[in-house]
């Protein structure tokens, strides 16, 4: 597995630094940009790096950050504590993540990424994992991608596959997924009439 010089240069521009330990481009956007890079569990300088899939496309990193500010991690964490099926999905995704990473090099840790298997700590990791592995691998990652498209429909078919499950198909919505405080902090997820009243 190798990454082309062209892709490395694009990712360096995306990140503002050279990508470290890049093994392959695990997800490329419909408009042709490298967007998720698989990284080796140990960086060239020997530093352990447990994050297997790293999100690089600025359009996607920006959406993941907006969703975090809007409180999506908090509502996902609450659901994770109550929904046994969601817990099983998250645990299975955690185990697959470890197995995939350990196939390259076992770091001797059960830490995977994004807070798995019992916490939701980073939507960038969950989004990267879902895009790299497909919408069937990690429910909360799949939802994160869908919520990004709900917020910015122009991402569909450009940065995100046009056939990605929608938030409606997944039975979720930005209004449900954000906290009141998060909605107030961002303003972007409030129903239009509420935004008008607050402005």
Asked if 140 and 110 count as a contact pair (C-beta separation under 8 A), the reply is no
pLDDT, position 197: 41
Range of the domain at 15: 5-198
Residue 198 in this model has a pLDDT that exceeds 70: no
Number of domains in the chain: 1
Instruction: Give this prediction's pTM.
Output: 0.91
pLDDT, average across residues 20-45? 96
Torsion of CA 147, 151, 155, 161, to 10 degrees: 20
pLDDT, position 113: 86
Compare 189 and 24 and report the one with higher pLDDT.
24
Average pLDDT, the chain: 91
Residue 186 in this model has a pLDDT that exceeds 70: no
Exposed e or buried b per residue across 88-118, where buried means at least 16 C-beta atoms within 10 angstroms of its C-beta: ebbeebbebbbebbeebeeeeeeebbbbbbe
- Dump pLDDT digits (tens) for 147-182: 999 999 999 999 999 999 999 999 999 988 887 676
């Amino acid at each position: 597995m190798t990454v082309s010089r062209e892709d490395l240069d694009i990712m360096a521009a995306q990140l503002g630094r050279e990508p470290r330990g890049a093994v392959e481009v695990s997800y490329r956007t419909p408009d042709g940009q490298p967007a998720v890079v698989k990284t080796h569990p140990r960086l060239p300088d020997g530093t352990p790096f447990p994050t297997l899939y790293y999100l690089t496309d600025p359009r996607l990193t920006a959406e993941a950050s907006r969703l975090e500010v809007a409180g999506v991690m908090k509502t996902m964490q609450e659901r994770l504590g109550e929904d046994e099926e969601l817990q099983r999905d998250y645990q299975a995704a955690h185990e697959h993540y470890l197995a995939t990473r350990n196939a390259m090099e076992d770091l001797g840790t059960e830490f995977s990424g994004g807070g798995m298997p019992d916490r939701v700590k980073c939507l960038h990791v969950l989004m990267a994992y879902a895009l790299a592995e497909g919408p069937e691998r990690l429910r909360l990652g799949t939802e994160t991608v869908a919520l990004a498209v709900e917020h910015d429909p122009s991402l569909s078919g450009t940065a995100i596959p046009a056939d990605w499950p929608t938030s409606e198909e997944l039975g979720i919505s930005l209004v449900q997924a954000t906290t009141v405080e998060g909605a107030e902090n961002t303003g972007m997820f409030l129903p239009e009439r509420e935004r008008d009243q607050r402005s």
